[in-house]
């Protein structure tokens, strides 16, 4: 059985559909990490992203802007604005559409089908646009619509913020994509139809009630409480049915991102890396992967009050 908290969190961490409530914090103080090697001038800045947000997330700490300006390029999971529309449509047809002749109503109990119709109507999503989608994609669409209804936008997401800065004609920066749209969406193809239906069912049941947990995630990110953020993410993957999904969604993807970023360090490049916060933290996150590889990992002071203590190895807290 998949942990219900995992199901409630899945859309938060994948494909830039993160549920987020902005806490009453005057200014964001998230943690920024610097990865470097004494044998090379190259370095990476690791900055965890919240993909949906509001103007209350800004301004970011000045040291974050300085690190971005210091970088040769911006690295993100994917740049949605750069995806070819026809290619995106092809990928979604492949990974997000039901087989010909099937509709979602064929798979749902009558009561759940009615709930889906009511929810889609409340969110101004025509049921006709959803009924041919795979259950996972319907869940993601509902989640994104609910986030927008609550006043949050991907336009205020952290990754979008830096993509906008990188495209400014006065100081453009190259953008490095660490994944492809196909790689991200194909993650859901590993879920069985029954697992997808469970995901959709849980989404319908917890579309509004899950906001308390997600508010906690946003608060932890804003104040730079890494341990709380890690606990909120990792705890969602407890249980025998969740570890394999955690492996595929975080461990495997983190390994791929790590592999694609390492050459830039070796080439002496400075890269500002903005990926979902769940990919930076934890024993399988990018920070720990670079530490285990022998690189120096240093916390750049953003003024947060939850600066981690020095850990075994080369993690260095910067309190200056």
Domain boundaries, the chain: 4-316
258-287 residue pLDDT tens: 999 999 999 999 999 999 999 999 999 999
Residue 230 CA to chain centroid, in angstroms?
13
| CA proximity to 207, closest of 144, 278, 252, 258 | 144
Higher-confidence residue: 305 or 223? 223
Task: Determine the pLDDT at residue 241.
Answer: 61
pTM for the whole structure: 0.84
What is the arithmetic mean of pLDDT over 73-96?
89
29-73 residue pLDDT tens: 889 999 998 888 999 999 998 887 778 778 899 999 999 999 999
Q: How confident is the model at residue 115 (pLDDT cuts 50, 70, 90)?
A: very high
C-alpha distances out from residue 68 to 50, 63, 266, 269, Å: 17, 9, 19, 13
Going by their DSSP bridges, the two strands 175-177 and 270-276 should be labelled as unpaired
- pLDDT above 80 (res 145): yes
Lowest mean pLDDT of 84-88, 254-258, 292-296, name the range: 84-88
């Amino acid at each position: 059985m998949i942990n219900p908290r995992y199901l409630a969190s899945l859309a938060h961490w994948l494909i830039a559909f993160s549920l987020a409530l902005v806490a009453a914090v005057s200014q964001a103080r998230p943690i920024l990490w610097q990865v470097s090697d004494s044998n090379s001038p190259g370095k990476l800045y690791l900055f965890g992203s919240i993909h949906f947000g509001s103007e209350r997330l800004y301004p970011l700490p000045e040291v974050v802007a300085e690190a971005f300006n210091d970088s040769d390029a911006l690295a993100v999971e994917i740049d949605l604005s750069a995806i070819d529309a026809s290619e995106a449509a092809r990928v979604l047809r492949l990974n997000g559409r039901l087989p010909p002749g099937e509709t979602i109503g064929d798979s749902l109990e009558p009561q759940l089908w009615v709930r889906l119709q009511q929810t889609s109507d409340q969110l101004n999503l025509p049921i006709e646009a959803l009924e041919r989608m795979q259950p996972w994609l319907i869940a993601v669409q509902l989640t994104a619509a609910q986030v927008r209804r609550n006043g949050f936008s991907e336009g205020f997401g952290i990754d979008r913020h830096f993509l906008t800065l990188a495209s400014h004609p006065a100081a453009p920066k190259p953008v490095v994509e660490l994944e492809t749209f196909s790689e991200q969406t194909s993650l859901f193809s590993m879920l069985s139809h029954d697992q997808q239906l469970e995901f959709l069912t849980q989404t319908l049941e917890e579309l509004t009630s899950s906001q308390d947990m997600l508010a906690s995630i946003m608060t932890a990110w804003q104040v730079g409480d890494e341990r709380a953020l890690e606990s909120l993410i990792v705890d969602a993957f407890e249980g025998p049915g969740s570890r394999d999904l955690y492996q595929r969604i975080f461990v495997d993807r983190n390994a791929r991102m790590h592999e694609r970023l390492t050459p830039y360090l070796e080439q002496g490049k400075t890269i500002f890396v903005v990926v979902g916060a769940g990919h930076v933290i934890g024993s399988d996150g990018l920070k720990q992967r670079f530490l285990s590889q022998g690189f120096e990992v240093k916390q750049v002071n953003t003024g947060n009050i939850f600066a981690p203590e020095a850990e075994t190895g080369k993690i260095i807290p910067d309190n200056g």
